[in-house]
Structure 1
Amino acid sequence: MSTDFQQAREALGVRLRELRLAAPGGRLTGPQLAKRLGWPHSKIYKLENGQQTATVEDLQAWAAGVDQPQVIDELEARLKGFESHIRSWRRQLAAGHRPVQDSWNVEVERSRIIHAWEEAVVPGMLQTADYARHIFLRYADLQNSVRDTDEAVRARMKRQEWLYRTGRKVHALMWEAALHALVCPPSVLASQLDRLMGMIGMDTVELGIIPLGASLKIPAANGFWILDDRLVIAEDWHAELWLDDADSVTTYLRVWDTLRESAVYGVDAHNVISAARRALNSH
């Protein structure tokens, strides 16, 4: 999934090398530029070889270091071009989780049909506020990000208003493992499971559960969302992937359809959730 991103990063590196070698005062060696910028030489090497993603500040420093400030806009445009598809958590969460949720809300608001797959957590649009709060706290700890938890929870809950509008539909698939994952206190998970059972039968929600014992045609891998056949948002540990090319959307729809073949719905889904609820009580 990162092939296009890596190619774009390598292309940026080639451009940075060109600028270093074409410095108006004469070509600069890597060590010379590193000394000018106060960087270790290894950073020059990694940026030019596409082994490290530049920041805006890196690019501004580079342009100044090679005495070509006029290229700043070009370099920043290159960076924005591939970061619009590969959105690193480090950068997204620099201002906290609320801005990320706001970006999601804009795209969801534009959508009428959503397909979602989650293998380890309850899909965000079906979460209770308490469950969402614990998810945000876990990720804030992992990413060492700003703790704007209450603001992020409110933004996620606002997104759920979409579920109560005529003509909208979310087709949600979950692996049963998500029903047992104690990423929150048992009492919070219990309330979350109750909510899921209550959502079965809503005209705007089709909830499928893939039982742990079900036969799978493909592995139950990372979660993703497909919005109106126009945009895929997939999550990885380092970044979110926002993919809007037709080939990627088609691939993810095929993955979703394949996973769906292993799911149960309606009364059968209710029974799987109810069994998880009873197992939780036994603890």
Structure 2
Amino acid sequence: MTLEPEHADRQRGELADALRRLRRAAGLTGASLASRTGMSQAKVSKIENNRVRPSVVDVERILTALGVPARGEDGSRLLELARVANSDYQGFRTALQRGLGELQRDLAAVESSAATIRFFLPCMITGLLQTPEYARQTLAHPLVNRGAEWQSALARRLERQQVLYRTGKRFVFVLTEAALRWPLCPPAIMALQVDRIASLSELSGVEIAVVPSDSLVPSGPLNGFTLYDDRLVTVEVFTGELALRDPREVSYSREIFDFFHEHALTGESMRSFLEEIARGFRSDAKYDIS
């Protein structure tokens, strides 16, 4: 199966049709199925008419109520469709076709709608924490033309940072030392970037945590991700971005996040650590002849 949007949309429709056919084959009304699953009749109707995206758990409950074995051919196929239905993938080239400015607008919308956002950053510093110089470098790409659209995307990324100052919102950033030290920019700029992170950690709604490289952590960070409340996790890869909505995927991502958070420095210990890294970059800047 593929997670490209047009295929995922078709598979969601296939899932809705299959669940409706199974209910009718079992001789049940929508109300009867709703009673057996503990769902509302309205939700069952919306699932069968492809107006609500069912979670994997929802599909499991429906299959159980209909007496369809989850490990049988039909059950396995429908559960796989449900997993796809709760996953979206947007390739980098598709994002470029829409425009980088539109991508920044999309990110701003989902950030605005979430009360708590958790970032796990093992390799890079995310947009909400970036200085303008660091942000310019992250947007540099062979496929991106540095014209008016590029300038617009940069401006919108920096505008997104205003969300950090809104009351009633909470942001938790867990970074590895490697992410802070990755030499994306010259040392003097990296020093300012680390200073920026230390400054933002003083905001009431922002928590910064750093996993030092000399700390014993009995698991490796395979990839970064962002958690929006307990409803969505996004994973960025070189070729695009994957969005996962299934509650189990979100819950497992939260467990991973909490694991690395437990091994991270926070508060004054974290700020002292950042100061040490910034001093190192400034020392390197004295000898930088690039």
CA distance in 1, matches of 2:102, 2:116: 23
Structure 2 CA distance, aligned partners of 1:4 and 1:218?
29
Matched residues in 1 for 2:98 and 2:184: separation? 24
Return the alpha-carbon distance in structure 1 between the equivalents of residues 188 and 155 of structure 2. Answer: 21
In the superposition, relative to structure 1, how do residues 259 and 11 fare at CA in structure 2: closer, same or farther (>3 Å)? same
Pair 262,83 (structure 1): closer, same or farther in 2 beyond 3 Å: closer
2:17 is the counterpart of 1:5: no
Contact 2:136–2:154 at 8 Å: present in 1 too? yes
**CA deviation after TM superposition for structure 1 residue 245, in Å:** 1.4
Is it true that 1:98 corresponds to 2:101 in the alignment?
yes
Alignment partner, residue 281 of structure 1: 282
Partners of 1:128 and 1:202 in 2: how far apart?
A: 16
Which of 100, 113, 123 lines up with 2:126 in the alignment? 123
Q: Deviations over 1:103-140 (max 9, x none)?
A: 11111111110010111111211111221111111xx2
3-state DSSP class of the match of 2:139? helix
Matches of 2:159 and 2:133, distance apart in 1? 14
Q: 1:151 matched to which residue of 2?
A: 152
Question: TM (normalized to structure 2)?
Answer: 0.66
Give the conservation status (yes or no) of the 8 Å contact 1:97–1:136. Answer: no
Question: What amino acid is the match of 1:150?
Answer: Q
Other structure's SS at 2:221 match: coil
> Which residue matches 2:208?
207
**In structure 1, C-alpha distance between the alignment counterparts of 2:137 and 2:175, rounded to whole Å:** 19
Per-residue CA deviations over 1:196-241 (Å, capped at 9, x if unaligned) read 1112231110000000111213212221111111111111112200
Deviation for aligned residue 1:187 = 2.2
Maintained 8 Å contact 1:122/1:178: yes
Output the CA distance in 1 between the equivalents of 2:282 and 2:117.
33
Match of 1:85, SS?
strand
2:137 aligned partner: 134
Q: Is the 8 A contact 1:135 1:184 kept in 2?
A: no
- How far apart, in 1, do the equivalents of 2:99 and 2:221 lie? 29
Alpha carbons of 1:190 and 1:245: their partners in 2 closer, same or farther (altered >3 Å)?
same
In the TM superposition, 1:49-128 aligns within 5 A as 85-128=88-131
Q: Percent identity?
A: 27
What TM-score do the two structures reach when normalised by structure 1? Answer: 0.68
**SS of equivalent to 2:279:** helix
The answer as to whether partners of 1:173 and 1:208 remain within 8 angstroms in 2 is yes
In 1: Cα distance, 2:186 partner to 2:151 partner: 18
Amino acid at match of 2:115: R
Tell me, what secondary structure is at the counterpart of 1:173? Answer: strand
Maintained 8 Å contact 2:165/2:203: no
**1:5 match: secondary structure:** coil
Q: State the Cα distance separating 1:280 from its structure 2 match.
A: 1.0
Structure 2 residue aligned with 1:194: 195
Pairs aligned (count) = 210
**What residue ranges of structure 1 are gaps of 5+ in the alignment?**
14-77
Work out whether residues 224 and 236 of structure 2, in 8 Å CA contact, stay in contact via their aligned partners in 1: yes
Q: Say if 1:239 and 1:83 are closer, same or farther in 2 by CA, change over 3 A.
A: farther
Q: Any runs of at least 4 consecutive aligned residues in structure 1 with deviations exceeding 6 A, and if so which?
A: 10-13, 81-84
Q: Aligned partners of 2:126 and 2:271: how far apart in 1?
A: 16
Relative to 1, partners in 2 of residues 1:11 and 1:178: Cα closer, same or farther, differing over 3 Å?
A: closer
Please list every run of 5 or more consecutive structure 2 residues that lacks an aligned counterpart in the other structure: 12-80, 285-290
Find the residue that maps to 2:243 and give its secondary structure. strand
Q: 1:150 to 1:204 in 2, by over 3 A?
A: same
Q: 1:149 to 1:261 in 2, by over 3 A?
A: same
- Residue identity matched to 2:96: L
Q: Secondary structure at the match of 2:167?
A: coil
User: What is the alpha-carbon distance in structure 2 between the residues aligned to residue 233 and residue 212 of structure 1?
Assistant: 25
CA RMSD of aligned residues (A): 2.6
**8 A Cα contact 1:94 1:145, kept in partner:** no
Alpha-carbon displacement from aligned partner over 1:122-173 (angstroms, at most 9, x marks no partner): 1211111221111111xx22xx134333211211112111111111110110
Q: Is 1:231–2:232 an aligned residue pair? A: yes
Is the Cα–Cα contact under 8 Å of residues 170 and 205 in structure 1 kept in the other structure? yes
Q: Distance in 2 between matches of 1:89 and 1:99?
A: 13
> Are the aligned partners of 1:89 and 1:240 in contact in 2 as well (CA < 8 Å)?
yes
Question: Match of 2:169, as an amino acid?
Answer: R
